[in-house]
Structure 1
Amino acid sequence: MKVLILGAGYGTRLQRDLHASPDYKHLLGVPKALLPLGGRDALITHWLELFRSHNINDVYVVTNAATYEAFAAWAERNNVPSQNIVSDGTLTNETRLGAVPDIAFGIHHFGLENEDVLVIGGDTLFLNDFKLKDLLENVSSGSCLVTTYRVPDNQVHKFGIVETDADGVMKSFLEKPYPPDTESRLACPCFYLFDRQALPLLDAFVDEMKDQPKETFDATGKFLAYLYPRFKVVTYPISGRIDVGGLESYIEANEYLA
């Protein structure tokens, strides 16, 4: 299994918050994936240490041209090969490729087309009770795996929501639905294990969306909605996640992990 971390976003909301906060202006320009967090030099260092503790050493990062040097410095500090970091070539939020095209770009750049690939959003961590070993024991060939956790009714409209059958197999994906539109309360963070046999569908999706507005393919959940009718997607429950969106959530995450 190979790990691909998405770090090409521009964190526009967080940067606005930092501009308005005199106590945190030293973090201006730092991408969310590289924010110091809970005693580690960067959010994604938590993931790196977890994978290494399970003998998973092939960790790759897709970033953008504006923050590539910062990721390269992180890689050097953490003994990650420099060739495991790649820029998607964009310089602004307006010209960003989008999360799903970045996944496809990273898979092809790093030559992962024939590998099972775990994709993780660079602004996401799981709560401390998450057990990677347990998740890996639920992986089976011929199916993709995504994580889910329960959210309250008043939060449903903020997340991609998964509906499953009695066996936990995805049967629907709804992007930020209103609570009355679904009985499910299962949010689905960007932590997707793609079976190698499913990867051609990623290319097919990107190709179909290339002439569409960016909002039709940017969010990773858009690909899940395309994927589940064509390839089996099973779910694995977790207790919750840490999502660094703005300054308030960053402060909460830092306190929790510390």
Structure 2
Amino acid sequence: MKAVILAAGYGTRLLKDLQNVNEQRLQDLIGTPKPLLPIGGSPLISYWIEALKSALDPKDIFIVERLGAVSCLQLIIEKFRIEDDIIVIGGDTLFYEDFHLQDVLKKYKALYQDNNQANLVLSYICKDEETTKYGILEVDESYRIRAIKEKPLATDTASRQACPCFYMFSNHTLPCVKTFLNEKKDAPIDEKDAPGHFLSWLVTRKPVYFYSISGRFDVGNLQSYLLCDKYFQEKITKLNYLH
């Protein structure tokens, strides 16, 4: 298994917020890539690196940026001729303290043994007023995803299953990345390079299941950054997170 950490975001919302604060500590963060933002005293990405090193060889961890999320993924697949299963992680995302990477890996392995076409994503219950911020999964009783609504109104779906950027793709799914990009070559950049759009396209072609977690931090603006930093300062260390 390989792991790809997506660091392609430009952090425009966070940059705008930082430019409008007077606190020197925060102004010093201007220009810092989101995966390198200090969270609880350590760079955000370091929590993922430490967790992944407990399950994978460090040489199997890839960090990519600037091309756009889906294009970055395809670049890694092609350049390193990857034929293994892949974990794809958003470089601006962290989860609550009850998340353990080993539990998710165990669930994925069980799914793969039953069906080597199966893929796994994470999901948590969001509030009614939050559905317009996220991709919302519509699922069946077997935990299989049947459709994804992108930022719907709460009245447009009964589901509250939000989906963060943490995907486990079967090696049989990897060719789909190139197919998706070819089909979307003339589409707007946000449509063909947003991982959520790829996932929405994929669920109609491959079995994709979800694994429940309690919540996540998406470090997209100053408020979410401060909340995440405070949470990790108070509750989390790299020694007990994700293992």
Q: TM-score, normalised by structure 2?
A: 0.89
Residue of structure 1 equivalent to 2:224:
249
Give the structure, 1 or 2, with the largest relative contact order (CA under 8 Å, sep 6 or more): 2
CA distance in 2, matches of 1:197, 1:119: 15
Residue of structure 2 equivalent to 1:45:
46
Tell me, yes or no, if structure 1 residue 107 matches structure 2 residue 109.
Answer: no
1:169-188 pair list within 5 angstroms? 169-188=144-163
Residue of structure 1 equivalent to 2:63:
61
Tell me, yes or no, if structure 1 residue 123 matches structure 2 residue 92.
Answer: yes
Residue of structure 2 equivalent to 1:67:
none
Residue of structure 2 equivalent to 1:208:
183
Tell me, yes or no, if structure 1 residue 196 matches structure 2 residue 171.
Answer: yes
- The alignment's C-alpha RMSD in Å is 1.2
CA distance in 2, matches of 1:16, 1:44: 22
Tell me, yes or no, if structure 1 residue 164 matches structure 2 residue 166.
Answer: no
Residue of structure 2 equivalent to 1:32:
34
Aligned-pair distance for 1:137? 1.1
Aligned-pair distance for 1:56? 4.7
The answer to whether the 8 Å contact 2:2/2:56 transfers is no
CA distance in 2, matches of 1:8, 1:215: 12
Moved over 3 A (4+): none
The answer to whether the 8 Å contact 2:119/2:169 transfers is yes
Residue of structure 2 equivalent to 1:232:
207
- SS for the counterpart of 1:171 is strand
CA distance in 2, matches of 1:252, 1:157: 20
Residue of structure 2 equivalent to 1:133:
102
Matched to 2:22, the amino acid is P
CA distance in 2, matches of 1:25, 1:125: 22
Give 5+ residue unaligned stretches, structure 1: 65-96
| Count of equivalent residues | 224
Matched to 2:85, the amino acid is D
Matched to 2:35, the amino acid is A
Aligned-pair distance for 1:55? 4.4
Residue of structure 2 equivalent to 1:219:
194
- SS for the counterpart of 1:27 is coil
Give 5+ residue unaligned stretches, structure 2: 234-243
CA distance in 2, matches of 1:63, 1:218: 12
CA distance in 2, matches of 1:51, 1:124: 14
Deviations 1:86-137 (A, max 9, x none): xxxxxxxxxxx4322222122222332x010100010001111101111111
CA distance in 2, matches of 1:207, 1:162: 25
Aligned-pair distance for 1:216? 2.0
- SS for the counterpart of 1:189 is coil
Matched to 2:210, the amino acid is T
CA distance in 2, matches of 1:32, 1:101: 19
CA distance in 1, matches of 2:22, 2:77: 39
Matched to 1:242, the amino acid is F
